[in-house]
Amino acid sequence: MKKPFYQVDQQELVEELQSNLKTGLSKQQAADRLEADGPNALTAKKKQSLLSKFIDQFKDLMIGILLAAALIAALTGEQTDALFILAIVVINAIFGVFQESKSENAIDALKKMATPKATVIRDGKPEQVPATELVKGDLVSLEAGDVVPADLRLVDVANLRVEEAALTGESVPVEKTDKTLTADKLPLGDQDNLAFMNAHVVYGRALGIVVATGMATEVGQIAGALQGQDETKTPLQENLKSLSKVLTYLILAIAALTFVIGYFTQNMPIIDLILTAISLAVAAIPEGLPAIVTITLALGTARMAKKAALVRKLPAVETLGSTDIIGSDKTGTLTQNKMTVEKVVLNGQIVDLDAENPFDKEELSKAAGILGDIMTLNNDSQLTAEGLVGDPTETALIDFNEKYRPDRLAELRGQERLQEIPFDSERKLMTTIYGAEDAYQVTVKGAPDAVLARVTQVLEDGQVRPFTNDDLAHFQELNGRLADQALRVLAFAEKSLETLPEEAKSEEMETGLTLIGFVAMIDPERPEVKDSVAQAKAAGIRPMMITGDHPQTAAAIAGRLGILDEEDDRAKTVLTGAGLDELSDEQFEQRVEDVKVYARVAPAHKVRIVQAWQQKGKVVAMTGDGVNDAPALKAADIGVAMGITGTEVSKEAADMVLADDNFSTIVTAVKEGRKVFANIQKALQYLLASNLAEVIAIFTMTLLGWEVLAPVMILWINLVTDTMPAIALGLEPAQKNIMQQSPRGKTANFLSGGVGPAIVWQGMLQAALVLSVYAFALAFPDHSGTALVHGDALTMAFMTLGLMQMFNAINVKSVYQSQLNGSAFKNHFFNGALLFSLLAMMAVVVIKPLNPIFHVTNLDPYQWLIVIAASLAIIVIVELVKWVQRTFFNRG
């Protein structure tokens, strides 16, 4: 079996890859290998063609029934009806294709935001090339700030530290080596002589030979495995599928029953019965529903995109609204992803930098100046054109000086470092030596315990005095107090030398030091997140923190944000990855509801957390930015990837991408999702109540032997009423208390919350009013004393049904609340849509050349008065019913 690359020594590696540790590959070798192996890039799933997407829009049983109805209408000579049906179906399909393509284009634009470059040595000369052109055997140079462009076996390392959390879940940069490792089956996180594609170099430099590119890299292998996984069905998709199935069966049953009754009791001709069955199918199917849902979701995605939430899959908008659990990463999402100095210890006391002027006293200002000098001099961060680059801890120290001493900072950064003793994990110290006016200055930075063990003096109130045992106890107590707040503490000390040693050695340079002070830093929480956490909790959503960081740090940030409450028992509410591994699935299922913070977890643990909550019937949103987060993002009901720090693999696996990597954006998206669901419910209630009225009216007309509304009439009503007013309902503003309501859960559907009963009784009411107008028109003479003709009665029923549906759009804005208080007309788009649709509906009767097309007659003012009065009656009656429901049944 071939040895893994971390076990291969450098000479063996060079021979195997036919490379050179000094000159790298020749340009010809690189070109030949690029042609043979292909570019160093991850291959994406093959995109669907526009034609394929268009065809997919027709893979629905209800659409199939409509197409069958169009075919039958065409065969029976009703060409106009057939064309109308086809037009509705095609418009819906175009809407679906357009929105899918729009979403894909947005993601493609996100991918192209940056094309990484790599510094490669070819023919002995360094040059920059696109990372996609790297090949196996290339000799690549790495420096702080670089993104590792391929999988590399490191061959020359100088203090290299690499942040590879995206792949391994390790939250702190990893020290790398160029030594050959001998252990078997090392996990990725322990393969210290390899640097993996997409990892970030935070410190030092190195040379490495490319051992894998593209899909052969560790990142590529995970990406390949993900492409074969099935998508999780969203609640919206499940709801629409169930609804379509129920409606289809009802349509077939009603059409068959009508056919039987008409044939055996009314002796209707076969052609008339077929046309009646078509009318019923057209009446029962909410043709506009797919388009309305798509448009409402698309409008939701547009609003969310403006708020930094890019939705990749339309149904995810609605799923967000049913979210019960949000599992969020800490770094960058809940926090600012920027180490920040929060407190310092000077003159033996803690100074909180939140104060307006923390160094107002002279002795504090002097001590802060000396501390700031050491923070700047004992620092390897680099100022580049792209900004400050280096270890996050060291850049935080420079930021401190930038804030408090910008002029001094510029002066110190120009000084030449004469000697140094680099940091190592055993000493826990870093030492530098600079020239001063009359001596040499030694600066020491390191872990408090390591520095305190080497000091003999302390700076206090501007004077240097001996360091006593009492001082040691005091500073140890201060360190413990800061550590309890999850602050990372560094100690700073200095001393002077009269002569510069030939070589700086620890035993000489790091003794007899003068303690200057401590610096305490943390990656602070985002200021807006605390309110968002409170908002989520008020909405019945449980926010969880899931991080690879230390449990003490995680708990401290969680407490500051309100994820953990003061009364929470940390032993129950904080669980480490090691503790999770010790629990069986049954034990974890019992424990999962107690845990609010997961610390020191690997990304693989996220899948288990997601599945544990899903077993309890909860809708789970999960954030992630790493390659190893991708399986959890795919498993979650809503996978949320980071747009700034996230890898392409995590973005591909996610349903939503946060352009600002901010937890608050998720909560904003949840609010938008709830609004979208509520608006889809309104549109659905409006459409199905209207369609139910049409079905009942046609079925009753058939039973009574009346002339039945023609398919073209039903289609025109549906075209006029199901488009603009229904779309306008998708633009309704959110209810004021929408984020004080509990999540509706997985079992809820579009007919819950009183919507289902409202559809039934409002549909029956509309049918009763339409049939009453029809019967009235047949039974009573008009104002001239002449009996109304049958065509006029059908026209009046047709107009009443159309106008009444539009007036009922006002009613459906709330299941139980009155709409007569003016709130119904705050949506100006709705007002315009309603007016336009009313005029369009009336136009087919008023404009005489259109009368034959729609099988209608021209009505006189008396007939119009009856139609309008009956149509407006729907508002009055529904308002009375709502009042009764509120008053006597405590609804709403």
Most confident among 92-106, 662-676, 820-834 (mean pLDDT): 662-676
Exposure of 3 in the CB half-sphere (CA atoms within 13 A): 13
Q: How many CB atoms lie within 10 A of CB 224?
A: 14
CA angle, residues 309, 313, 319, in degrees to nearest 5: 80
CA angle, residues 271, 277, 278, in degrees to nearest 5: 90
Gap between the Cα atoms of 458 and 464, Å rounded: 6
Gap between the Cα atoms of 886 and 880, Å rounded: 10
532-541 residue pLDDT tens? 999 999 999 9
Retrieve residue 822's tokens.
Answer: 């003016």
Q: What is the pTM of this model?
A: 0.70
Gap between the Cα atoms of 235 and 324, Å rounded: 13
pLDDT above 50 (res 788): no
Q: How many CB atoms lie within 10 A of CB 409?
A: 20
- Nearest of 498, 511, 500, 543 to residue 525 by alpha carbon: 543
* 258 neighbors 277 (Cβ within 8 angstroms): yes
The verdict on whether 470 is a catalytic residue reads no
pLDDT score recorded for residue 216: 87
- Nearest of 290, 244, 324, 242 to residue 673 by alpha carbon: 324
Q: Which of 470 and 862 is assigned the larger pLDDT?
A: 470
* 561 neighbors 529 (Cβ within 8 angstroms): yes
Question: Which of 96-105, 309-318, 827-836 shows the lowest mean pLDDT across its residues?
Answer: 96-105
Phi/psi for 454 (5° steps) reads -115, 0
228-245 residue pLDDT tens? 444 555 566 666 667 767
pLDDT score recorded for residue 79: 75
- Beta strand extents in 507-644 (DSSP E only): 513-522, 542-546, 574-576, 597-599, 620-624, 638-642
Residues listed for the chain: 892
pLDDT score recorded for residue 475: 96
Sequence spans of domains, the chain:
5-37+135-212, 50-111, 239-308+669-889, 310-336+526-664, 340-522
pLDDT score recorded for residue 359: 84
pLDDT above 50 (res 111): no
Bridge pairing between strands 325-328 and 542-546 = parallel
pLDDT score recorded for residue 203: 77
* 201 neighbors 144 (Cβ within 8 angstroms): yes
Bridge pairing between strands 117-122 and 139-143 = antiparallel
- Nearest of 85, 82, 63, 84 to residue 74 by alpha carbon: 82
Bridge pairing between strands 429-435 and 463-466 = unpaired
Q: What DSSP string runs through 28-69?
A: HHHHHHHHHH--SSPPPPPPPPHHHHHHHTT-SHHHHHHHHH
- Nearest of 143, 278, 285, 126 to residue 202 by alpha carbon: 143
* 498 neighbors 325 (Cβ within 8 angstroms): no
- Nearest of 807, 791, 785 to residue 862 by alpha carbon: 785
Gap between the Cα atoms of 380 and 391, Å rounded: 8
Retrieve residue 732's tokens.
Answer: 């309704």
609-657 residue pLDDT tens? 999 999 998 999 998 877 667 788 888 999 998 888 777 667 777 888 8
- Name the 3-class secondary structure at 724: helix
**Which residues is 326 bridged to in the sheet?**
543, 621
Gap between the Cα atoms of 522 and 487, Å rounded: 5
198-230 residue pLDDT tens? 788 877 889 999 999 988 888 777 666 555 444
Which alpha helices (H) appear in 597-723, and where do they start and end? Answer: 603-615, 630-635, 648-653, 663-704, 711-721
Gap between the Cα atoms of 355 and 361, Å rounded: 13
Bridge pairing between strands 597-599 and 574-576 = parallel
Q: What DSSP string runs through 470-516?
A: HHHHHHHHHHHHHHHTT-EEEEEEEEEESS--SS--HHHHTSSEEEE
Catalytic residue among 138, 146, 329, 373: 329
**Which residues is 543 bridged to in the sheet?**
326
Retrieve residue 132's tokens.
Answer: 């996609």
Retrieve residue 763's tokens.
Answer: 């549909």
Residues 6+ apart with CB under 8 A from 9: 180
* 587 neighbors 568 (Cβ within 8 angstroms): no
Residues 6+ apart with CB under 8 A from 786: none
239-308+669-889 CATH choice from 1.20.1110.10, 3.10.20.30, 3.40.50.720, 1.10.150.120: 1.20.1110.10
Residues 6+ apart with CB under 8 A from 441: 377, 433, 434, 435, 494, 496, 497
CATH code of the domain made up of 340-522: 3.40.1110.10
Cα distances from 194 to residues 26, 172, 257, 771, in angstroms, run: 23, 16, 73, 79
Which alpha helices (H) appear in 309-387, and where do they start and end? Answer: 315-321, 362-377
**Which residues is 127 bridged to in the sheet?**
120
Gap between the Cα atoms of 881 and 878, Å rounded: 5
Which alpha helices (H) appear in 132-234, and where do they start and end? Answer: 165-168, 218-226
pLDDT score recorded for residue 1: 41
362-379 residue pLDDT tens? 778 888 999 999 999 999
Gap between the Cα atoms of 595 and 516, Å rounded: 41
Gap between the Cα atoms of 53 and 61, Å rounded: 17
Statement: 5-37+135-212 belongs to CATH 2.70.150.10 = yes
What's the mean per-residue pLDDT of the chain?
84
pLDDT above 90 (res 805): yes
Give the 3-state secondary structure percentages of the chain, helix then strand then coil, rounded to 5.
50, 15, 30
pLDDT score recorded for residue 790: 56
Exposure of 528 in the CB half-sphere (CA atoms within 13 A): 11
Retrieve residue 317's tokens.
Answer: 């908008």
Query: Alpha-carbon dihedral of residues 495, 501, 504, 507, nearest 10 degrees?
Result: -70
Gap between the Cα atoms of 386 and 644, Å rounded: 15
pLDDT above 60 (res 2): yes
Retrieve residue 127's tokens.
Answer: 């040059």
pLDDT above 80 (res 258): no
Cα 617 to its chain centre, rounded Å, is 21
* 547 neighbors 609 (Cβ within 8 angstroms): no
Retrieve residue 237's tokens.
Answer: 């998709």
722-738 residue pLDDT tens? 778 888 888 888 887 88
Question: Which of 95-109, 155-169, 193-207 shows the lowest mean pLDDT across its residues?
Answer: 95-109
Domain 310-336+526-664 is in which class? Answer: alpha beta
pLDDT score recorded for residue 489: 94
544-590 residue pLDDT tens? 999 877 888 889 999 999 999 988 888 899 999 889 989 999 999 99
Gap between the Cα atoms of 650 and 226, Å rounded: 10
- Kind and range of the H or E run holding 448: helix 448-452
Gap between the Cα atoms of 540 and 326, Å rounded: 11
